Amino acid sequence: MAEVALIEAITMALDRAMKDDERVVLLGEDIGANGGVFRATAGLQEKFGEERVMDTPLAETLIAGMSVGMAAEGLRPVCEMQFMGFIYSAVDQIINHAARLRNRTRGRLTCPMVIRAPYGGGIHAPEHHSESTEAIFAHMPGIRVVIPSSPSRAYGLLLAAINDPDPVMFLEPKRVYRLIKQDVEDNGEALPLDTCFVLREGTDITLVSWGASVHETLKAADELEQSGVSAEVIDVATIKPLDMQTILQSVEKTGRCVIIHEAAKTGGVGAEIAAQLAEKGLMFLLAPVQRVTGYDTIMPLYRNEMHYMIDTKRIVDTVKQTMEFV
């Protein structure tokens, strides 16, 4: 058992997967001798060799295309995109090939590849380095979209993603890379995909979040408790496919729901959760479902970034408004 940050838990999971399965290979820009821009693969090339930890050219389309070919031929590639904002040139390979391979071949071929990408704001980075566009991939059939919010979940969910027979988009909230540390046992045990995690029990309102925003949500729940509001906190973790059963069970108990995510509001995953609550849980609701989200703008440069990012006050204020609805 070691106390590690989220980025260290990623490294632990990659190391464990490569030890346990020689089919697992890593590829990406500067991931070898350099260990990656955030040091997620530090030391792994030295340990496993250049044939299994491969530096690639600065070409995201090539990285994704190579991964599709490797996966189709029996390997389990884990490719790294340096930032989510650089992923768009790889979308052709991810959506038109990785996501469709099982269907296209009627199950004769699968595509067990993982695309790792740091995402989200909060580290004072320039444009293209602070994207939170998970909804693009959540909309696409054939791809799982997984977002850890803590070291322990990063370790277990990444192992599960690597073992999955189909492509997984594994988005890592870089603001959380070194935010907290947890005891994580390197035991090779995966956590379940497609399942929400209830982080805190409550009776008055359900707070639904994922990624870095989970941390502000938990702080808001602590603050709300001081004013007599019991908030249940759910970490969605896998946004595609979505575990609505856990969310619906919680809302049936509490009668109210606020959804919190960093991504822009329009067309976000929060809108899908709200729509499904309206379709399947309308009779449970005592108040309209509310969203606390990013704005429908490009993430501003770092000097103005704090005006875009969600803070605890916005969550608490929205919860109080929801609690007042009669």
**pLDDT at 103 exceeding the cut of 80:** yes
Supply the pLDDT for residue 123.
Answer: 87
Evaluate the CA torsion angle 82, 260, 177, 193 in order and state its sign: negative
Q: d(Cα 224, Cα 218) in Å, to the nearest integer? A: 10
What total number of domains does the chain contain? 2
Q: d(Cα 63, Cα 239) in Å, to the nearest integer? A: 24
Using one digit for the tens of pLDDT, what is the confidence trace for 44-100? Answer: 999 999 999 999 999 999 999 999 999 999 999 999 999 999 999 999 999 999 999
At residue 310 the predicted structure's pLDDT band, cuts being 50, 70 and 90, is very high
CB 98 within 8 A of CB 109: no
CB 112 within 8 A of CB 165: yes
Residue 261 is among the residues annotated as catalytic for this protein: no
What does pTM read for this prediction?
0.97
Determine, yes or no, domain membership for 189. no
Determine, yes or no, domain membership for 191. no
Residue from 97, 124, 128, 129 carrying the catalytic annotation: 129
CATH number at residue 302: 3.40.50.920
At residue 305 the predicted structure's pLDDT band, cuts being 50, 70 and 90, is confident
Average pLDDT in the 198-219 region? 98
Domain that holds residue 177: 2-184
Using one digit for the tens of pLDDT, what is the confidence trace for 129-144? Answer: 898 999 999 999 999 9
Supply the pLDDT for residue 306.
Answer: 84
Check residues 127 and 228 and name the one with the higher pLDDT. Answer: 228
Average pLDDT in the 252-279 region? 98
Average pLDDT in the 14-43 region? 97
Q: d(Cα 44, Cα 273) in Å, to the nearest integer? A: 39
Tokens 């770092």 sit on residue: 302
CATH number at residue 16: 3.40.50.970
Q: Whole-number mean pLDDT of the chain? A: 96
- Both 282 and 139 in one domain: the answer is no
CA nearest 70: which of 51, 57, 84?
A: 51
Q: Looking at the chain, which runs of residues are DSSP E strands?
A: 2-5, 24-28, 53-55, 76-80, 114-119, 144-146, 168-173, 181-184, 197-200, 205-209, 231-235, 238-240, 257-264, 290-294
At residue 42 the predicted structure's pLDDT band, cuts being 50, 70 and 90, is very high
